[in-house]
Structure formats: C-alpha cells, structure tokens
C-alpha cells in the first residue's frame, strides 16, 4: 500500500541546494510520502548516468517528490507516469505541442524543455514497508533565453518561453504539475499503467518513429514499436524485436539527428 499523504502536501523550499533529488535520497526516511522539495537554484543538479542538469536560477522549476510504499514491480514505470503527468500539465497551461521522448524528456518543437530523474533507495527486502522509497525529480526550463542554453552548449534545449512565446509563472506551473501528478499517480497505484498508456502513446515523440539506439556502446537503427510492461522501449532492429531498457534512443528529426 502506498502510504497516506497528498502529493506536495508537505513542502520544503530552498533558495539554494545541491540537488533536490539528493536531498530526498538522504532525508526521505524521515519525511512523509508526497513531500515535495523545491529549489530556486541547484548547484549540483543531476541527470541520469552521472550527467548534470544545468540551472540558471529562478527562471527554471526544479523539484522532487518523495514516493513511499510503492512496490518494486511498479518502479520501472514511474518515469513514464511522471512524463504523462508533466506533459499533460504543460499542455493544460500552454496548449498542444509538448511530447514525451523516451525515456524521460519532455520536448517541444524538438527542444528539450524538461528532464525527469526517478531514483530509488531500496530498503532491506523490497520498497514495500521496508524503509525504501523513490524520488521523482523534475526540472522544467521556464524562461531562460536561448543564449543560456548556448552558453552551456545545449543547442537542443529550450524553455517554455523560447518555444511557446508565453512567459510562465513558476508557482502556477508547479501547482499544475502537482495536480496532474497526484491524479495520474493515484490511477497508477490503483489500476497500474494501462489506463495511462493511451495518453502516453498519444504524447510520445518516440513510438512509431525511426530511432538510433545507443545501448551497450553500440549504435543501431530501428523503429520504436511500443512501451514494454516495465517501461522498456521495444524496437524493431534488423527484423528482430529488441528491448531497450537503458541507454538512449535518438529519434529521427529530434535533437538534430
Ligand atoms: C535528465 O537526465 O534529463 C534528468 C534531469 C532531472 C533534473 C531534475 S531538477 C530536480 C531534480 N534534482 C536533480 O538533481 N535532478 C532532478 P538525462 O536524460 O540524463 O539528461 C541530461 C542531459 O540533458 C545532459 O547531459 C544535457 O545534455 C541535457 N541538459 C542538461 N541541463 C539541461 C537543461 N536545463 N535543459 C535541457 N537539457 C539539459
């Protein structure tokens, strides 16, 4: 059973912190399920696989949510659930055009607007009731100018403002993401991922596309077919179905591929 407590019901706000994900990984055992940790600035924001998340201060939204009591079997789909929630909230505020690029980016017109980092700290036996927990970190570029991304050598990054022309308010975006996260997370806990799958497919920038898969230091071209039951990307490569569990899948026409 997922523990009681509303998503974002307990909220900690830091002017500056290393990483909101790291904070929750270190302190999550003492905090209630649903705790949200926000930071105006991260000095050591993290992406997957040791990569960094570039931060320019309060013109971007950075926060992490603590998830307690979710079974280990459900963990692999947490990035997809988060992706659906973030994508829906951005569409609700700014209109169509936001898509989910497998596994964890939200893109708009080929620019990466948001990155999602889900991590877990497993307790003694499993996450369930054993002190383990998960952390969902969300970084959304709100109004940085393109010159900021250029200075970080991120030509494929963009902000909500540079891509849609609308200047977003951090508090409004935060509340909307939390609202969708609460809704979609509860659906996921009760009924699994299947009720969210249609929405995921509709919003996917990857499924049905030609992809360049980078896994085990090998690059292979293929077609992305579907999302597997554990969040893996099922691709058709040289006539064979191949499951991509980690690594990268670049989509033709996105990020300059
Ligand atoms: C991600 O990793 O995209 C996950 C980013 C998660 C950030 C949030 S912020 C709150 C919480 N606290 C943290 O410390 N992290 C989470 P990945 O798929 O590995 O992508 C990382 C790559 O995205 C980098 O190597 C860059 O190429 C690119 N990148 C870095 N900063 C970016 C930015 N601000 N906007 C767009 N792309 C960026």
Helix (H) or strand (E) holding 24: helix 20-27
Of 53, 44, 82, 88, nearest to 65 by C-alpha is 82
Antiparallel, parallel or unpaired: β 105-108 and 111-121: antiparallel
Cα–Cα dist 214/112, whole Å:
18
What pLDDT is recorded for position 49?
87
Ligand 1 pocket, residue 59 CB under 6 Å? no
Ligand 1 pocket, residue 65 CB under 6 Å? no
Ligand 1 pocket, residue 250 CB under 6 Å? no
Q: DSSP states of 58-88 as a string?
A: TTEEEEEEEEES--TTTGGGHHHHHHHHHHH
Contacts of 96 (CB under 8 A, 6+ apart): none
What pLDDT is recorded for position 2?
63
Cα–Cα dist 140/85, whole Å:
13
- Given the CA of residue 54, which atom of ligand 1 is nearest to it? 31
What pLDDT is recorded for position 256?
64
The answer to whether residue 18 scores a pLDDT higher than 90 is: yes
Q: Tokens 């579907």 sit at which residue?
A: 226
Measured CA angle at 144 (ends 138, 147), to 5 deg: 130
Cα–Cα dist 91/83, whole Å:
12
Q: What is the per-residue pLDDT across 103-162, written as a single tens digit (0 to 9) for each?
A: 999 999 999 999 999 999 876 554 555 568 999 999 999 999 999 999 999 999 999 999
Task: Choose between 70 and 130: higher pLDDT.
Answer: 70
Residue 93: alpha-carbon gap to chain centroid: 18
Find out whether 206 and 118 touch, Cβ atoms under 8 Å.
no
Q: What is the per-residue pLDDT across 169-225, written as a single tens digit (0 to 9) for each?
A: 999 999 999 999 999 999 999 999 999 999 999 999 999 999 988 766 778 889 999
Query: Closest Cα to atom 3, ligand 1: which residue?
Result: 115
Q: Tokens 């889900």 sit at which residue?
A: 118
Task: Choose between 153 and 1: higher pLDDT.
Answer: 153
The answer to whether residue 235 scores a pLDDT higher than 80 is: yes
What pLDDT is recorded for position 131?
67
Ligand 1 pocket, residue 25 CB under 6 Å? no
- Given the CA of residue 22, which atom of ligand 1 is nearest to it? 14
- Give the full edge-to-edge strand order of the sheet including 60-68: 11-17, 36-42, 60-68, 133-141, 111-121, 105-108, 98-101
How is residue 100 written in tokens?
């989910």
Q: What percent of the chain has pLDDT over 70?
A: 91
pTM: 0.94
What is the three-class DSSP state of 191? Answer: helix
Choice from 103, 104, 115, 147 to test ligand 1 binding pocket (greatest atom count within 8 A of CB): 115
Find out whether 119 and 137 touch, Cβ atoms under 8 Å.
yes
Lowest mean pLDDT segment, chosen from 167-171, 231-235, 246-250: 246-250
Ligand 1 pocket, residue 20 CB under 6 Å? yes
The answer to whether residue 250 scores a pLDDT higher than 80 is: no
Ligand 1 pocket, residue 53 CB under 6 Å? yes
How is residue 189 written in tokens?
């806990």
């Amino acid at each position: 059973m997922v523990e009681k407590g509303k998503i974002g019901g307990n909220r900690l706000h830091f002017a500056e912190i290393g990483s909101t994900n790291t904070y929750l990984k270190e302190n999550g055992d003492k905090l209630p399920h649903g705790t949200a940790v926000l930071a105006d600035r991260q000095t050591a924001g993290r992406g997957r696989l040791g990569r960094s998340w570039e931060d320019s201060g309060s013109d971007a939204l950075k926060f992490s949510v603590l998830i307690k009591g979710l079974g280990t079997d459900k963990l692999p789909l947490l990035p997809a659930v988060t992706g659906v929630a973030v994508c829906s909230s951005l569409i609700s505020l700014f209109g169509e055009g936001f898509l989910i690029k497998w596994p964890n980016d939200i893109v708009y017109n080929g620019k990466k607007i948001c990155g999602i980092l889900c991590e877990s700290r497993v307790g003694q036996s499993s996450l369930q009731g054993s002190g383990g927990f998960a952390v969902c970190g969300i970084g959304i570029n709100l109004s940085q100018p393109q010159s900021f991304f250029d200075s970080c050598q991120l030509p494929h990054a963009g902000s909500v403002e540079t891509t849609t022309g609308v200047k977003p308010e951090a508090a409004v975006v935060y509340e909307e993401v939390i609202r969708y996260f609460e809704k979609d997370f509860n659906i996921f806990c009760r009924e699994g991922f299947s009720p969210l799958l249609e929405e995921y497919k509709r919003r996917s920038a990857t499924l049905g596309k030609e992809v360049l898969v980078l896994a085990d230091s090998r690059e292979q071209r293929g077609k992305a077919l579907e999302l597997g039951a554990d969040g893996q990307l099922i691709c058709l490569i040289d006539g064979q179905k191949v499951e991509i569990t980690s690594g990268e899948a670049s989509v033709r026409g996105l990020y300059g591929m």
